[in-house]
Amino acid sequence: MAFEISLAGKTAIITGSNSGIGLGIAWELARAGADIVLNSFTDNTDDHALAAEMAKSAGVKVQYIQADMSKGDQCRHLIAQAGRCDILINNAGIQHVAPIPDFPVEKWDAIIAINMSSAFHTTAAALPMMRAAGWGRVINIASAHGLTASPFKSAYIAAKHGVVGLTKTTALETAQEPITANAICPGYVLTPIVEKQIPDTMKEYNMSREEVIEKVMLTRQPSKQFATVEQMGGTATFLCSDAAAQITGTTISVDGGWTAL
Domains of the chain as residue ranges with CATH: 11-188+227-256 (3.40.50.720), 190-226 (no CATH)
In whole angstroms, give the CA distance from residue 124 to residue 237: 22
C-alpha distance from residue 165 to each of 38, 117, 160, 182 (Å): 25, 12, 9, 10
How much is the pLDDT for 126? 98
In whole angstroms, give the CA distance from residue 170 to residue 246: 14
CA 154 from centre of chain: 19
Annotated catalytic residue: which of 64, 156, 188, 205?
156
At residue 138, φ and ψ (nearest 5 deg) are -110, 120
How much is the pLDDT for 4? 78
Q: Is 156 in the active site? A: yes
How much is the pLDDT for 2? 60
Tens of pLDDT along the chain (261 residues)? Answer: 566 799 999 999 999 999 999 999 999 999 999 999 999 999 999 999 999 999 999 999 999 999 999 999 999 999 999 999 999 999 999 999 999 999 999 999 999 999 999 999 999 999 999 999 999 999 999 999 999 999 999 999 999 999 999 999 999 999 999 999 999 999 999 999 999 999 999 999 999 999 999 999 999 999 999 999 999 999 999 999 999 999 999 999 999 999 999
In whole angstroms, give the CA distance from residue 93 to residue 143: 11
How much is the pLDDT for 1? 54
What are the E-state strand segments in the chain? 11-14, 35-40, 62-66, 87-90, 136-141, 179-186, 251-254
How much is the pLDDT for 121? 99
